[in-house]
Amino acid sequence: MSVQTPNGFQLDNAGRRIVVDPVTRIEGHMRCEVNLDENNVIRNAVSTGTMWRGLEVILRGRDPRDAWAFTERICGVCTGTHALTSVRAVEDALGIAIPENANSIRNIMQLTLQAHDHLVHFYHLHALDWVDVVSALQADPKATSALAQSISDWPLSSPGYFRDVQNRIKRFVDSGQLGPFMNGYWGSPAYKLPPEANLMAVTHYLEALDFQKEIVKIHTIYGGKNPHPNWLVGGVPCAINVHDTGAVGAVNMERLNLVSSIIDRTIEFIDKVYIPDLLAIASFYKDWTYGGGLSSQAVMSYGDIPDRANDNSAENQMLPRGAIVNGNLAEIHDVDLRDPEQIQEFVAHSWFTYKDESRGLHPWDGVTEPNFVLGPNTRGSKTRIEEIDEAAKYSWIKAPRWRGHAMEVGPLARWVIGYAKGIPEFKEPVEKVLTDLQLPVSALFSTLGRTAARGLEGSWAAHKLRYFQDKLMANIKAGDSSTANTERWDPKTWPKEARGVGTTEAPRGALGHWIVIKEGKIDNYQAVVPTTWNGSPRDPAGNIGAFEAALLNTPLVNAEEPLEILRTLHSFDPCLACSTHIMSPDGEELTRVKVR
């Protein structure tokens, strides 16, 4: 049956149904089903979040100063971003101002995550959608070297170097034990890179794997460990002491120098390896223009990376804030997370129940009662789903909407908003990429546009690391070593009741936490996360979310191999542990599996 969605997409579920479960190279668990027409073009797409954990209910009754540690464990891939969002929500509720140094260090932590996460996503979660590992064995190392040297002055580029890597891959393949590359879609005509580009990319896959662990040492210095560094309501836990006795027990000159050297190496790796690879790979896929989905019509960002401490105005955010709807890039709407009319979550197609499921609820008033039921047209059984019924409830993800619109969030959304606002540090790199690849602006609204925006943002973040590290040094030099405000550390200083909102722009997009504090304890906690926006199921009006919209109208080269589906889903960098953590208010036990 063919239907038109209110947000302008044509859905037809008459054709052959294809199921991809598990969707791999993502965080968490997800399932995707599509219907193909007779030409193997996707005409209907159904995205299902297949896990939930219930952290919000676990937070009730706990010390708000501990909330960062719980919410940080929502996700270990975007590690730290939930913790930062949480301390911001608590500080907003209690009216706590943080020192400038704490703002700089927090931004450094967040930018470190952006740089690391985007790099790892590109090479280790996304590249195999574009790069044929087995084809790399056919490459001429000399020609590979010439290719690498033509696009970058990165020193590891000799013919001998590429030959060594190629030999290592060859021995690995010859061993017959392909490990993570087993059953890949090698040799598929959907792969377009010549062998030399494949060898270059596989080489950098390994180099990036070795290098990424260096970037996160910044988290280790300021936060003690990575993944899951430590945070503090009121500032940051690491004290600064560059002058006096005891400096070895705090952030001292050696520690600051270590951070500085990691920043330099991160900038170099991203600008000399990641960005040139991204452009080289994209140049072979210019004809693959699919996957735009909502990006050309409805995008949103809360803004992040405040230049000065304690100023939440849009002007102070280095990542832009705003919403674009109906494809009108000339008008950027303001986003207010406190306004009950703006952000609302719906559950008509989610495994939760509301009293009136035709309506959405603002997170302050959020109700989250689980209701795992399948529709009458499900094929299979309750614990053996063969084909899901998307006319009924079909996902553990709720459907958030901004003023009723399904929105795309993430790097592409941020860069489209920055571009539309005419901010030079967003507009100019976008225009340069489009010019270099000889592409029109419309090419931005695609799977590859999303992947390119993430790369540009990785580079942007690395350079902003330098800005904030220099700012931190300048402030210390000016005599300010303060890192924490403890005036309201003691719960006795808090009001009887308070509520607050905290936001960040996580690597995957707009992230918000809403907290209510009563008598020194958490009374209610709600998180609306990037993959809840992008991976949302349909709402009562029938609007589809960003994943589903982006998959539509994409042809598959081979219906048995979901390569193109993975490509587009991966361009969002899905994070399912984040999106599906909501739970019943009481946590009551429902049906239970017998253990013994």
Partner 1 sequence: MATTETFYEVMRRQGISRRSFLKYCSLTATALGLAPSFAGTIANAMETKPRTPVIWLHGLECTCCSESFIRSAHPLVSDVVLSMISLDYDDVIMASAGHQAEAILDEIRHKYKGNYILAVEGNVPLNQDGMSCIIGGRPFIEQLREVAADCQAIIAWGSCASWGCVQAAHPNPTQAVPIHQVIHDKPIIKVPGCPPIAEVMTGVITYMLTFERIPELDRQGRPKMFYGQRIHDKCYRRPHFDAGQFVENWDDEGARKGFCLYKMGCKGPTTYNACSTVRWNNGVSFPIQSGHGCIGCSEDGFWDKGSFYDHVTDTRVFGIEANADRVGIAAAGTVGVAVAAHAAASAIHRIKQRAGEHHEENDQA
Q: Which C-beta is closer to partner 1: that of 197 or that of 416?
A: 197
Task: Using the Cα atoms of residue 329, residue 335, residue 340 and residue 345 in order, give the sign of their dihedral.
Answer: positive
Q: Which C-beta is closer to partner 1: that of 160 or that of 380?
A: 380
Least distance (Å) between residue 134 CB and partner 1: 10
Q: Which C-beta is closer to partner 1: that of 296 or that of 378?
A: 378
Residues whose CB is less than 8 angstroms from the CB of residue 36 and which lie 6 or more positions away in sequence, other chains included = 15, 16, 18, 42, 43, 556, 559
Least distance (Å) between residue 528 CB and partner 1: 18
Q: Which C-beta is closer to partner 1: that of 226 or that of 534?
A: 226
Residues whose CB is less than 8 angstroms from the CB of residue 49 and which lie 6 or more positions away in sequence, other chains included = 28, 29, 30, 395, 396, 397, 531, 535, 576, 579, 580
Q: Which C-beta is closer to partner 1: that of 5 or that of 226?
A: 226
Q: Which C-beta is closer to partner 1: that of 43 or that of 204?
A: 204
Q: Which C-beta is closer to partner 1: that of 63 or that of 523?
A: 63
Contact 378, 385 (CB under 8 A): yes
Least distance (Å) between residue 499 CB and partner 1: 21
Backbone angles phi, psi at 518, to 5 degrees: -130, 130
Least distance (Å) between residue 303 CB and partner 1: 25
Q: Which C-beta is closer to partner 1: that of 22 or that of 95?
A: 22
Residues whose CB is less than 8 angstroms from the CB of residue 159 and which lie 6 or more positions away in sequence, other chains included = 141, 142, 144, 145
CB atoms within 10 A of CB 138: 13
Contact 70, 61 (CB under 8 A): no
Least distance (Å) between residue 154 CB and partner 1: 18
Q: Which C-beta is closer to partner 1: that of 20 or that of 332?
A: 20
How far is residue 314 from each of residues 306, 320, 332, 453, measured CA to CA in Å?
A: 9, 7, 12, 21
Least distance (Å) between residue 546 CB and partner 1: 19
| Bridge partners, 44 (sequence order) | 35
Least distance (Å) between residue 98 CB and partner 1: 11
Residue 35's nearest CA partner among 573, 567, 548 is 548
Q: Which C-beta is closer to partner 1: that of 118 or that of 219?
A: 219
CA–CA–CA angle 266, 269, 270 (5° rounding): 85
Q: If DSSP states are collapsed to H, E and C, what string results for 173-213? A: HHCCCCHHHCCCCCCCCCCCCCHHHHHHHHHHHHHHHHHHH
DSSP assignments along 231-289, one per residue:
-BTTB-S--B-SSSTTGGGSB-HHHHHHHHHHHHHHHHHIIIIIHHHHHHHHHH-TT--
Two tokens, residue 276? 């040139």
- Taking the C-alpha atoms of residue 240 and residue 247, their distance in angstroms, rounded to an integer, is 8
Q: Which C-beta is closer to partner 1: that of 20 or that of 434?
A: 20
Least distance (Å) between residue 101 CB and partner 1: 10
Least distance (Å) between residue 521 CB and partner 1: 11
Least distance (Å) between residue 319 CB and partner 1: 23
Least distance (Å) between residue 315 CB and partner 1: 29
Residue for token pair 């100023």: 311
Contact 195, 189 (CB under 8 A): no
Least distance (Å) between residue 490 CB and partner 1: 10
| Bridge partners, 500 (sequence order) | 515
Residues whose CB is less than 8 angstroms from the CB of residue 24 and which lie 6 or more positions away in sequence, other chains included = 566
Q: If DSSP states are collapsed to H, E and C, what string results for 331-358? A: CCECCCCCCCCCEEEECCCECEECCCCC
Q: Which C-beta is closer to partner 1: that of 212 or that of 451?
A: 212
Q: Which C-beta is closer to partner 1: that of 12 or that of 63?
A: 63
